[in-house]
Structure 1
C-alpha cells in the first residue's frame, strides 16, 4: 500500500486523521498563503489546500498527499488568526450573536489523480458579554485559531449551534476524507 502523507503540522488535523485509524506521516508544507483578494472563502480554502498538497506531492509522487486549509468567514470577509488581544476582541465581537461560516478545503493528490473539495459549516454564537470575551482572551486559546476561537476547546462555550460537519470546524472533515481516499483506491 502507498504511503499517506498529511501535508500539515497542525496537531488538530493530525488528531482527527488518527481517528480514522490510518497509518500516515506528517510533513509540514510551508507555502505562501497569499491569495487574490476577490476569491470567495471556499475558493481560498481549496486553493490553499491544493498548494499545500502539491508542494509535498512533488517530492513524494508515489504517496497519497492530503493538504487542508480552514477559514472562518462572516459573509465573504475572512477572519484570520488574531495576533493581539485587540484583534481577538474585535473578531469575537463581530461573531457575537451572529451566524458565521467555517470552510475547510481538502486536496488529496496521488500522481496525476486528485480529489479536491470543501466543507462549509454554519456556526451560531451566543450573544457574548464583554466579560466572557475578556475571559476567553485571557485563556490565550484564540491566538492560533482562525476567527479567534477553537470549537474543540474552551471556545465550545461560545457556540450556540452548528449546522454541518463539526470535524470540518476543527480542521478536517474526516468522513469526506475517508470516502475520498477510498474512491481514490487508498483503502481497499
Structure 2
C-alpha cells in the first residue's frame, strides 16, 4: 500500500480533483530539458481515442524515467491527457488567440467529444482507462467568442475552453463525466488507483 502517489501533470485542476477524492500526491513535473509538447504530436489520421491513450502512455514513460533519474522514493505515478474531438478531427490546445477563435467557431452550435485517458504505473504494473463524454455548445456569436478568448481562459486548454470556467455559460448539455471533461475522470481514476493498492 502506498500512502501517496506522484501526479505527472502541470494541470492545477487534476491536482484539485485528486485532493477531492482524498488522494495524497506530489507533483512530478518535466524539467526544462524535456520536450513535453513533442509527445502531443498527432500521427496522420490517428483516431482520437487511440491518440489520447498513446500520448498518455508516452507521458507516463517519461514520468517513470524522471522518477528513476531523480532517485525519488518509489510510489505509483499517474498521468492523464485530455483531447477534444469534432468527428474524427482532434482539436488541440490553441497556438494563439486567432487559433482559439477558429476552434471555438468550429465548436459553436455543435456537439463534440471529450476523451481523457488516465494511466498509472506502480512498480511493473501499468493500468489505464479512457473516459469519453459529449459536450453540446450553444451557437456563439463572433463577439461572444472574441470576449471569451480575450479572458485568456482558452489558452493551454484542449478545444480552447475550460468547462469549469466562463465557457459554462455557452454549454447547453453534457453527457458523461464532468470531472473527465475537466481533465481527470474520478470514477475511472479511483478504480485504477484501487487496483494498484491506493485507497481513495
- Please tell me the TM-score bracket, short chain as reference: over 0.9
CA contact (8 A) 1:61 1:111 kept: no
User: Which contiguous aligned blocks of 4+ residues in structure 1 show a shift greater than 4 angstroms?
Assistant: none
Distance in 1 (alpha carbons) for counterparts of 2:134 and 2:73: 35
RMSD, matched Cα: 1.6
Distance in 2 (alpha carbons) for counterparts of 1:122 and 1:76: 14
Unaligned runs of 5+ in 1: none
Are 1:47 and 2:54 an aligned pair?
Answer: yes
1:32-67 residue CA offsets vs partner (Å, 9 max, x unmatched): 322422321111111111111222223168311101
1:119-151 residue CA offsets vs partner (Å, 9 max, x unmatched): 010100001111211111111111121111111
Q: How does 1:18-167 map to 2 (within 5 A)?
A: 18-29=19-30, 30=34, 31=36, 32-33=38-39, 34-58=41-65, 59=68, 62-167=74-179
TM-score (norm 2): 0.88
TM-score (norm 1): 0.93
Q: Tell me which residue corresponds to 2:5.
A: 4
The count of residues paired between Structure 1 and Structure 2 equals: 188
Distance in 2 (alpha carbons) for counterparts of 1:48 and 1:141: 23
Unaligned runs of 5+ in 2: none
